[in-house]
């Protein structure tokens, strides 16, 4: 019932999606027998499983859902980050570069004033594995999409005070927990 994409997905996230496909309302700890009947109170742990279960139903298998997620959700992350950065800068090239960098090299964002560290992140061989950072599902593939959408909608709610932006931003902020 699993995917061979990565061991973390196979042993951690695929069983959670399988629980949703089996009809459970909330995911539980799939690793420990003692907690198998205790559901997690956090929406942020269950909601990604619902999204992946929906993809699995649409495309016929968990393996296909996880492969598609490796394409779909990083693309959403780039698009939403681009929209946010373009709204802030009004420069399309800078927004495109910033959104690609934030997905391909996410740790660089935290290292902005330290140019030597940025160089090491990009060109030192030990850092190459971070290039695949967004191939991990649920986190950061899905959680980053929720996070950046919450930031985008909060920014819109502050700059264009509309009740819809505020409510939807609150929902996306709530999905973090």
Q: Are 157 and 170 in contact (CB under 8 A)?
A: no
Q: List the end-to-end C-alpha distance of the chain, in Å, as a whole number.
A: 28
Quickly count: other Cβ atoms within 10 Å of residue 26's Cβ. 16
pLDDT for res 43: 64
CB-CB contact of 143 with 75 (8 Å):
no
CA angle 162, 168, 173 (to 5 degrees): 125
* Tokens 């003692």 sit on residue: 34
**The pLDDT of residue 129:** 52
CA dihedral 64, 66, 69, 71 (to 10 degrees): -70
Percent of the chain's residues with pLDDT above 70:
80
Instruction: State residue 126's pLDDT score.
Output: 63
- Distance in angstroms (rounded) separating the CA atoms of residues 45 and 111: 29
Top-confidence residue, 45 or 76: 76
Band (pLDDT 50/70/90 cuts) for residue 77 is: very high
The number of angstroms, rounded, from the C-alpha of 64 to the middle of its chain's C-alpha atoms is 18
pLDDT band for position 127 (cuts 50, 70, 90) = low
pTM value surpassing 0.85? no
Cβ count within 10 A of residue 126: 8
- Evaluate if residue 131 carries a pLDDT over 50: yes
130 pLDDT band (50/70/90 cuts)? low
Q: At what angle do helices 43-59 and 141-159 cross, to 10 degrees?
A: 110
Query: Closest Cα partner for 130 from 118, 146, 138?
Result: 118
| Residue 39 to residues 11, 27, 42, Cα–Cα distance (Å) | 18, 6, 9
């Amino acid at each position: 019932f699993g995917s061979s994409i990565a061991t973390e997905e196979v042993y951690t996230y695929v069983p959670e999606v399988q629980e949703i496909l089996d009809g459970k309302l909330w995911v539980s700890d799939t690793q420990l027998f003692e907690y198998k009947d205790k559901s997690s109170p956090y929406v942020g742990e269950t909601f990604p499983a619902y999204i992946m279960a929906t993809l699995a139903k649409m495309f016929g298998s968990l393996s296909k859902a996880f492969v598609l997620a490796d394409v779909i959700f990083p693309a959403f992350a780039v698009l939403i980050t681009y929209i946010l950065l373009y709204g802030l800068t009004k420069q399309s090239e800078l927004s495109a570069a910033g959104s690609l960098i934030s997905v391909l090299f996410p740790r660089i964002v935290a290292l902005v004033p330290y140019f030597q560290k940025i160089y090491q992140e990009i060109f030192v061989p030990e850092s190459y594995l971070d290039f695949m950072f967004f191939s991990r599902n649920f986190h950061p593939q899905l959680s980053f999409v929720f996070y950046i959408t919450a930031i985008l909608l909060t920014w819109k709610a502050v700059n264009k005070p509309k009740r819809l932006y505020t409510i939807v931003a609150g929902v996306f902020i709530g999905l973090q927990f």
